[in-house]
Amino acid sequence: MLYLIGTPIGNMGDISSRATELLGQADMIACEDTRVTGILLKELGIEGKRLISYHEHNKASKGAEIIKFLKQGINVAQVSDAGMPAISDPGEDLVRLCIDEGVEFTVIPGPVAAVTALVMSGLSTRYYHYEGFLPNSGSDRRKRLKKLKEYDETIVLYEAPHRLRRLLDELTEEGFGEKQAAFCRELTKKYEEVIRMTVADAVEYYEKTEPRGEFVVCLEPLGISGKTKETDDKAIDDEILRLRASGMPVKKISELLSSDTGVSKKEMYARVLNLLKSEDNDRGDL
């Protein structure tokens, strides 16, 4: 049987008695970093466990190995360095493998930084969108940033401290400047801190204050999705026609609108061609 076990996000007091018990009973523990989990086990007084590393870069080969152990009746616990496995951490693939291979598994819940921050933020918890880490760079990152504009729910992001200033600049560019945000740092730890201010104020604040520690950013939504799909479609079509009338080539129009809307270049290219074709046909009909 596989046990996906939640572990503390900072404060050791947050380990549950069930998590401790099952870690103690496991024949083997699959973990991201054997040193980090070694420290946790030492704190819990658990000794002599076989640890195997299971992380983002070896999950394909190690996943198959873990399934083999499980099929032999070995009890495996899986943990990440902190928080819940499978939440911006390895674990999701292991769950999939267990389902595909008919292997039994269960989850021992523990703290999640995103949910802890959401509650601390003071923003709406009724509906929320968990984004986790944005892609590091490039068009994938730009696409996700554009996508964030559509949500009507509180947005929850993970960000490394050295990238926080860049994130704030990007959010400002996307129109979030006047939106409320909560910057939740070092949650559950001694220097836990939550700063609530607009994104624009945070730009100024973090210009003067070096961001340090682990961050969760909760963000009031822009809710541009308040527009109906029909309105969006009409606006895109109008823009295609406007750009075409200005003499822009089809490929360039597709690239530009793909980047603006997050629709793939291929899909946008087909859409532009279709629209221009139907416009030509309409003109022919007249």
Residue type, 143: K
Tell me how far the alpha carbon of residue 267 is from its chain's centroid.
Answer: 25
Residues 43-72 interacting with ligand SAM (rule: CB under 6 A): none
Across the chain, where does the E strand assignment appear? 2-5, 28-31, 50-53, 76-79, 105-108, 128-133, 154-159, 180-185, 193-198, 215-219
Of 27, 196, 47, 108, residue with least CA distance to 37: 47
Site string for ligand SAM, 130-159 (x = CB under 6 A): ----------------------------xx
**63-to-5, 79, 83, 170, 214 alpha-carbon distances in Å:** 16, 13, 20, 36, 28
Nearer to ligand SAM, 137 or 278 (CB): 137
Residue 78 as a binder of ligand SAM (CB under 6 A): the answer is no
128 belongs to the binding site for ligand SAM (CB under 6 A)? no
With respect to ligand SAM, which residue has the nearer C-beta, 216 or 268?
Answer: 216
Name which position in 15, 23, 67, 84 contacts ligand SAM (CB under 6 A): 84
Exactly one of 89, 131, 153, 174 binds ligand SAM (CB under 6 A); that residue is 89
Dihedral of the alpha carbons of 25, 27, 33, 35, in degrees to the nearest 10: 70
Q: How far apart are CA 190 and CA 208, in angstroms?
A: 23
Q: In what order do the strands lie in the sheet containing 128-133? A: 128-133, 154-159, 215-219, 180-185, 193-198
Q: Count of residues binding ligand SAM (CB under 6 A)?
A: 24
List 20, 78, 80, 154, residue binding ligand SAM (CB under 6 A): 80
19 scored as a contact of ligand SAM (CB under 6 A): no
Rounded distance between C-alpha atoms, residue 197 and residue 205, angstroms: 9
Q: Which of 4, 41, 94, 112 binds ligand SAM (CB under 6 A)?
A: 112
Which CB atom, from 26 or from 112, has the smaller least distance to ligand SAM? Answer: 112
Residues 159-198 that bind ligand SAM (CB under 6 A): 159-160, 184-189
Single out the residue of 5, 9, 40, 145 in contact with ligand SAM (rule: CB under 6 A).
9
Q: Which of residues 200-229 bind ligand SAM (CB under 6 A)?
A: 214-216
Binding site residues, ligand SAM, CB under 6 A = 9-10, 80, 82-84, 87-89, 112-114, 158-160, 184-189, 214-216
